[in-house]
Amino acid sequence: MSEAMQPKQLVPVLTDEEVAEIEHEIAHLPDRESAAIDALMIVQKHRGWVSDESLFAIAKLLDMSAAELDGIATFYNLIFRQPVGKHVVMVCDSVSCYVMGADQLAQDIKSHLGLEFGQTTEDGNFTLLPIVCLGACDKAPTMMIDEDLVENVKSSDLTEIFARYV
Amino acid sequence: MSLQETKPLTGRIEEVGGVVEFADYVAGGGYEAARKAVTTMSPADVISQVKDANLCGRGGAGFPTGTKWGFVPQGDAHDGGVKYLVCNGDEMEPGTFKDRYLITYNPHLLVEGMIIGAYAIGAEKAFVFLRGEYHTPKQALAQAIADAEAKGYLGKNIFGTDFNLDLRIHSSGGRYICGEETALLNALEGKRAQPRTKPPFPPASGAWGRPTIVNNVETFCNVPPIITRGTNWYRDLGITDDCGTKIYGVSGRVKNPGLWELPIGTTIREIIETHAGGMQDGFKLRGLLPGGASTDFLVEEHFDLAMDFQTIRAAGSRMGTGTMILMDDSICPVDMSRNLQHFFAQESCGFCTPCREGLPWIEQLLLDIEEGRGKPGDLDILDQNAQYIGAPGNTFCLHATGAIEPLQSALKYFREDFEKHITDGKCPYK
């Protein structure tokens, strides 16, 4: 990435709060680049996703190339390089939930929200994604909505569950 | 006998009846092990006590913890550089839910275990690598770290000595491969989580090229009780040759799925029938993955075996994380295999060709068989490719090997199901 493609004025895209949080992480690490994942997650926490503009600004702040940072960002499934809805719904598709009927549940969630995996509702409220084992296998099937773990999910409860996130 | 004597990891949780807060932990004798180790023992003494206790890693591989710690150069690093202690809290092995429980309900036990571990190897910097989805455990752990810092159990001059420890949480960005020790270190360094070549192993060259020890959450939680109560007590806890207790778990169609801390070496049948309450009415147990998705299936002939590292290895599988996934008679073994291979194909880091290309191909072949498009000869192709992909050494790390373990054993124990799909041209379970 040439210097010309990372103009300095893109740095102010990050808020003072974001920069402060990222610098706090850097202070505990041996070098600036090591904070790459933390920085991406911090910006995503504030903005919902990591836009190209954000990516360029973070790369500049960490003193690394935007191409390298994008290689990192796109490796990790919890870092979103596309806009997502206000609430992200992640449905477990791993083996314990599978045994407890997760495939049918996923179908029912798709019909309920009118979405396929990877899509966002037209009103921008929900994005639907699959997720691997959420570590609550004794309470399968499970899903996670934003930071809330939902356990023992039944298709008959979907209306009530999603109503909490409108 | 107090609960903590028979259940050193979870006894205090039961006594308190929920989350063990700082005051509860201290009232139950908490941080006395760290105080004893840091103020009265040499690092070499701590390592030899953990070695004598025969504590084996609880993340799945079962490597002796004291031996691993002993690989780190003792004393100050000769070049004046730092050493690191890392806790692998990236619990992503499907079917595994024990570390979430320990971190959420007894976070100080982990913190105390890490203080002792860091003292033993001479690390002043430690990280807990935590799953990004573990929001509740992260809150509990962050609170525990803050409480320990406030009391001077973390930070500078711990217990009035010259030992310092900075303990930080790294929230993962996702991906199962982060659980692989060297991939985890790359992720910790802010890079793509691709496994590194070994050797050098992390105790020689780990995080940022420095000597590093990586241990599982449950492993660290075993350390404080070993220091407090001694090696004889610890060795006597186990039923078989392995020592201590183990957090066993059962998921699937049992009456009472959950986790139980039991003497290591408890039989599979006792775990399922006594603790998990047996199968739900109308369902029969056909097989199980003993310790997560990457372990070989076990079947009826194995159910009286002791759940310990050696016994399960001798039966051709691995105890792994000790949290078993049950396959009842309503589940199609072909479709369950497809589900497992979907996971491993998706989670391959993409570095090695057999894993990146082979696993999706196997998933597709299983989907074809499941949906009635299987052809004669497909099982031979599966057998053959399982060997190519799964043989250790054909790929950089053990991801592909782990993926193939449940497939090869499913082909062995449930072969008639695979054959019937192909001859009937449909899934008999649908």
Task: Identify whether the C-beta of residue A80 lies closer than 8 Å to the C-beta of residue A50.
Answer: yes
Q: Which CATH class is domain B245-328?
A: alpha beta
pLDDT score at B272: 98
Q: Which CATH class is domain B3-237?
A: alpha beta
pLDDT in tens, B44-80: 999 999 999 999 999 988 999 999 999 998 866 556 6
Q: Token pair for residue B84?
A: 């690191």
pLDDT score at A5: 52
* N- to C-terminal Cα separation, chain A: 42
Model ipTM?
0.95
User: Over 60: is that where the pLDDT of A110 sits?
Assistant: yes
Q: What is the mean pLDDT of chain B?
A: 96
pLDDT score at B134: 97
CA–CA min distance B91, chain A (Å): 7
The full set of domain ranges for chain B reads: 3-237, 245-328, 333-424
**Chain B residues closer than 8 Å to A138 by CB:** 97, 249-251, 257-259
Residue A1 pLDDT level (bands cut at 50, 70, 90): very low
What residues form DSSP beta bridges with B247?
B261
pLDDT in tens, B297-313: 999 999 999 999 999 99
- What is the model's pTM? 0.95
* Element holding B125 (H helix, E strand): strand B125-130
pLDDT in tens, A136-164: 999 999 999 999 999 999 999 999 999 99
Which stretches of chain B drop beneath a pLDDT of 50?
none
Residue A12 pLDDT level (bands cut at 50, 70, 90): low
Task: Identify whether the C-beta of residue B264 lies closer than 8 Å to the C-beta of residue B244.
Answer: yes
Q: Which residue has the tokens 């780190």?
A: B72
**Chain B residues closer than 8 Å to A34 by CB:** 188-190, 208
DSSP string of B176-241, one letter each residue:
GGGGSHHHHHHHHTTS--PPPPSSSPTTTS-GGGS-EEEEEHHHHHHHHHHHHH-HHHHHHH-SSS
Would you say the CATH fold of B245-328 matches that of B3-237?
A: no
Other CB atoms within a 10 A radius of the CB of residue B283 amount to 17
**Chain B residues closer than 8 Å to A37 by CB:** 170, 172-173, 187, 190
User: Over 80: is that where the pLDDT of A3 sits?
Assistant: no
**CATH architecture of residue range(s) B333-424:** Up-down Bundle (1.20)
Task: Identify whether the C-beta of residue B64 lies closer than 8 Å to the C-beta of residue B322.
Answer: no
CA–CA min distance A63, chain B (Å): 13
Residue A9 pLDDT level (bands cut at 50, 70, 90): low
A132 touches chain B (CB under 8 A): yes
Least CB–CB distance from B100: residue in A41, A90, A135: A135
pLDDT score at B430: 87
Percent above pLDDT 70 for chain B: 98
CA–CA min distance A12, chain B (Å): 23
